[in-house]
Structure 1
Amino acid sequence: MLRHFGEEIWIADGPTVSVAGFAYPTRMIVIRLSDGALFVWSPTPLSIELRVAINRLGSVRHIVAPNTLHHMFVGQWQTAYPAALSYAVPALRTKRPDLKWDRDLGDVPEAAWSSEIDQVVVGGNRITTEVVFFHHQSRTAIFTDLIQHFEPGWFGGWRGIVAKLDLLTAIRPTVPRKFRMTFRDRSGARNAVQRIMAWPTVAVLTAHGAPIPHDGRDAIAHAFEWLLRK
């Protein structure tokens, strides 16, 4: 169910989904803008209970797919809220031509949220391009898959071994090893992360990991230490 996280920001944890045989939890983030519009990030399945809670908050006007991997439930939201605009990284248009995409996500925030939410594209990765967001009012940075963290017992058997090697179950949230190895342009990625580090971040939310309510800049610096050092 929808849970209040900070000033004008809520989270909702959805069901686990299977990706390449691994069970991943799902999480949605909702930001209420000053005009009452709702910015829905990486939507989870739209249950009746969730829809009621969402409608109490405001009007869904922005449906955001933050990378090429988080799009599974966008169609449900487009059907439920046909007047909302849908945003995605450009490559998702090719991957999901069955969905309606109104705008491409880039380094410049949309006018509808530019005074309240900032964003940076972290590109040059063979797995996905990800847009990282920053909500000014709650001082929350929002990552999708670039930072992850699972409890050691989340994955069992051989999957647990693979997860450990991939740093998914490291002591602190960090960038999975597979992402570290697949950056084609580390200089560009470093510049993007340096821009993210300039945000006055207090909290960090990710799709796959417990919320980080405090010391967010330190958490980001730790996660990207391998990239930021030259």
Structure 2
Amino acid sequence: MAKFNEEWTVGPHGPLEAIDDGLLTVEGEIVMPLGRFPRRMTVARLAGGGTAIWSGIPLREPEMRQIEALGDPKFLIVPGVGHRLDLKPWKQRYPSAKIVCAPGAREAVEEVLPADGLDSFDDAEVRLEIVPGVGERELAMHVRRGGKLSLLLNDILANVQHPHGLGAHVLARLMGFGVSRPKMPWVGKRMFVEDEKALAAAFRAWAAEPDLTRIIVSHGDPITRDVQAVLEGIAAELEG
């Protein structure tokens, strides 16, 4: 079994940013030899009260109070098999929160804690989707605010253009985490993709969303420019 954090351990992280109404995001870092690799958490306020936590990262107490002011964390979303590091301390801090994951990731998630399965959140503006073509191991999340759509993707797209340290830079470049432009990491493609046509069709469907404003990825900076072109480009690479 991989090593997972047992206690609330705060690592390096930036400020908690409000990028839309009831939508917060923060970049944390995984400390590694010769560098620090970026990872990102996003928090969405739900219509019925409370919040959904996408890929939870322990933060300092001032930032945690900001999250709690938005609403009690009700759902801990594990967007893919590689994002279980801090699941246990988040569940310990918020024991009533449900653990949400894709069906194909459930076995991996339950190496840490039992999962509750998918949920509709009872919110027309916040929706989870099982990503096609990857063995039901990855989730996407759609968050609509005032006519604008934010799309959250996990390890099928990365935008790590500012890796910190030699080790992080080498890892990001070798594994294709989008050092020069947003890309699908080749390691994710090799590990997860089972049906390239189905996944390409999903990228094209997301690109066709007329209100799509930004893509928030689990590794790297949010993508806010040419978002449709980025998705279409990944689809073309999968089809080619």
Counterpart position of 2:8: none
- Separation in structure 2 between the aligned mates of residue 188 and residue 154 of structure 1, nearest angstrom: 34
CA displacement, residues 196-217 of structure 1 (integer Å, 9 cap, x when unaligned): 2333311111111112234322
Instruction: Return the offset for 1:30.
Output: 0.4
Instruction: Return the offset for 1:170.
Output: 4.2
- The answer on 1:92 being equivalent to 2:100 is no
- Separation in structure 1 between the aligned mates of residue 134 and residue 158 of structure 2, nearest angstrom: 16
1:158-197 matched pairs, under 5 angstroms: 160=169, 163-182=172-191, 183-197=193-207
- The answer on 1:215 being equivalent to 2:223 is no
- The answer on 1:156 being equivalent to 2:166 is yes
- Aligned to 1:101, the other structure's residue is in SS state coil
Amino acid at match of 2:237: W
CA displacement, residues 11-70 of structure 1 (integer Å, 9 cap, x when unaligned): 122232449x98421211001122222011000024323321211111211111011111
Counterpart position of 1:142: 152
CA change 1:225–1:191 in 2 (3 A) is: closer
Selected match of 1:43 from 47, 53, 56: 56
CA change 1:184–1:169 in 2 (3 A) is: closer
Question: Which segments of 5 or more consecutive residues in structure 1 lack a partner in the other structure?
Answer: none
Q: Contact (CA 8 Å) 1:202, 1:215: kept in 2 or not? A: no
CA change 1:71–1:123 in 2 (3 A) is: farther
- The answer on 1:224 being equivalent to 2:235 is yes
- The answer on 1:58 being equivalent to 2:96 is no
Counterpart position of 2:126: 117
CA displacement, residues 91-134 of structure 1 (integer Å, 9 cap, x when unaligned): 4332243313112x4xxxx33245112333225448x8211111
- Aligned to 1:224, the other structure's residue is in SS state helix
Q: Contact (CA 8 Å) 1:120, 1:192: kept in 2 or not? A: no
Amino acid at match of 2:27: D
Instruction: Return the offset for 1:9.
Output: 0.6
**TM-score, length of structure 1 as denominator length:** 0.82
Instruction: Return the offset for 1:186.
Output: 1.5
Question: Which segments of 5 or more consecutive residues in structure 2 lack a partner in the other structure?
Answer: 1-14
Selected match of 1:12 from 26, 30, 53: 26
CA change 1:131–1:18 in 2 (3 A) is: farther
- Aligned to 1:223, the other structure's residue is in SS state helix
Q: Alpha carbon RMSD of aligned pairs, Å? A: 2.8
Q: Contact (CA 8 Å) 2:214, 2:223: kept in 1 or not? A: yes
- Separation in structure 1 between the aligned mates of residue 98 and residue 179 of structure 2, nearest angstrom: 37
- The answer on 1:101 being equivalent to 2:115 is yes
Structure 1 segments (4+ residues) deviating >6 Å: none
Q: Contact (CA 8 Å) 2:50, 2:73: kept in 1 or not? A: yes
Amino acid at match of 1:185: D
- The answer on 1:129 being equivalent to 2:137 is yes
- The answer on 1:26 being equivalent to 2:39 is yes
% identity of equivalent residues: 22
- Separation in structure 2 between the aligned mates of residue 169 and residue 85 of structure 1, nearest angstrom: 32
Amino acid at match of 1:184: E
* Aligned pairs, number: 221
